[in-house]
Amino acid sequence: MKKENNYPDIVKEYLTEIAEYYRFLHQDTLRKICNLSDIVLELPEGFIYDKFYSVTEGELENSGGGAGRFMLYDAMDSEDQKKVDGTWLRGHSDSGGFTFITSQPILSLQIRDYYTGKWNFVGHTPNGLIVNIGDAMEFITGGFFKSSIHRVVNPPDDQAGFRRLVLIYFCKPKGDAILDPTALNSSKLQRLGYVKPKEWEIIDFKAWNNEKSRLFGKSKVNDTQSEEPKLVLLYGRLHERWHQAESNFSLEEAEKRFEILKIDV
Ligand SMILES: O=C(O)CCC(=O)C(=O)O
Ligand SMILES: [Fe+2]
């Protein structure tokens, strides 16, 4: 954790506790999720954590790590709600490996079903963590794990007026980790045919994370009336992969059906 950051006073006061909380999430919870992934991928236990997430103290760039975010959503008045059409945070996938979100009782977070395109509310599990898969794990598994498309919307009427607080941890792989399934050498992925698509350039997490962050809020991408963003091609991959569950979906198919922006990286 960078001590020199200009944290708000409330954060400064609790920096030790906050660091302890996030350290626990990374070293304990994330390790368990990675071990579970090893089992699913038929890899030796510890492989994913050690290769992508293990922490080297004093080495920020190429160490496993993450970012904490505290989100406090105030209730919106009806005028503001109209402006954003009831959407507080539009649909997207996270660039990292996994994202942990504290479960809280207001229905507001939605996940988009890959097969039907339907948005479903995420229910509340007291003391639970919601775990989203991010882009990096999708690429590392050659598309076997799917990066979750999620958004935040107006809660149902009987919950309007509440403030909504969530603590988020974005688990990030090492900056120099290569984002394709080659290094896993997973017999399960090979058996199922999940190999690096030829159009994917060989990139590391740092490159993906930097480019995807650069697109957030860019009007060229976001100026659309549709709930879907314009698709941008980054290193041979679509920056949001809303259509990938269709069995025949490929870059070639995407180019026939959608306007795909190519932005210089
Ligand atoms: O507020 C939430 O539950 C999710 C926020 C989110 O998706 C994000 O910060 O990337
Ligand atoms: Fe997100």
Q: Which residues contact 4 (CB under 8 A, 6 or more apart)?
A: none
Q: Closest ligand 1 atom, CA of 108?
A: 3
Mean pLDDT on 5-33? 94
| Residue 104, domain member (yes or no) | yes
Confidence of residue 2 (pLDDT cuts 50, 70, 90): low
The pLDDT of residue 3 is above 60: no
Kindly state the DSSP code that residue 157 receives in the 8-state scheme.
Answer: G
d(CA 65, CA 47): 16
| Residue 98, domain member (yes or no) | yes
Domain span at residue 40 reads: 9-193
Q: Percent of the chain scored above 70 by pLDDT?
A: 94
Ligand nearest to the CA of 130: 1
Q: What is the pLDDT of residues 228-261, one digit of tens each?
A: 777 888 998 988 866 666 666 677 877 887 778 8
DSSP letter for each residue of 48-84: HIIIII---TT--TTS-EEEEEEEEEPPPPHHHHHHT
Residue of the nearest CA to atom 8 in ligand 1? 94
CATH of the domain at 28: 2.60.120.330
Handedness of CA 11, 15, 17, 22 (dihedral sign): positive
Backbone phi and psi for residue 238, each to the nearest 5 degrees, phi listed first: -80, 135
**pLDDT reported for residue 166:** 96
| Residue 225, domain member (yes or no) | no
Number of independent structural domains in the chain: 1
Mean pLDDT on 154-169? 93
Tokens 């996940």 -> residue: 111
| Residue 19, domain member (yes or no) | yes
| Residue 171, domain member (yes or no) | yes
Q: What is the pLDDT of residues 27-80, one digit of tens each?
A: 999 999 999 999 999 999 999 999 999 999 889 889 999 999 999 999 888 888
Q: Which of 152, 162, 212 most suits a substitution to test ligand 1, by most atoms within 8 Å of the C-beta?
A: 152
d(CA 142, CA 159): 40
The alpha carbon of 94 and the centre of ligand 2 are apart by a number of angstroms equal to 5
Q: Closest ligand 1 atom, CA of 101?
A: 3
Q: Closest ligand 1 atom, CA of 132?
A: 7
Ligand nearest to the CA of 93: 2
| Residue 41, domain member (yes or no) | yes
| Residue 23 Cβ contacting ligand 1 at under 6 Å | no
ipTM of this predicted complex? 0.98
- CB contact at 8 A, 88 and 76: yes
| Residue 263 Cβ contacting ligand 1 at under 6 Å | no
d(CA 239, CA 235): 9
- CB contact at 8 A, 92 and 212: no
- CB contact at 8 A, 96 and 174: no
Q: Are strands 231-234 and 237-238 parallel, antiparallel or unpaired?
A: antiparallel
Ligand nearest to the CA of 89: 1
**pLDDT reported for residue 90:** 87
| Residue 4, domain member (yes or no) | no
Q: Judging by beta carbons within 10 Å of its beta carbon (0-12, 13-18, 19+), is residue 207 exposed, middle or buried?
A: middle
| Residue 51, domain member (yes or no) | yes
Q: What is the pLDDT of residues 81-132, one digit of tens each?
A: 888 888 888 889 999 999 999 999 999 999 999 888 899 999 999 999 999 9
Residue of higher predicted confidence among 261 and 190: 190
**pLDDT reported for residue 248:** 62
Confidence of residue 178 (pLDDT cuts 50, 70, 90): very high
- CB contact at 8 A, 163 and 122: no
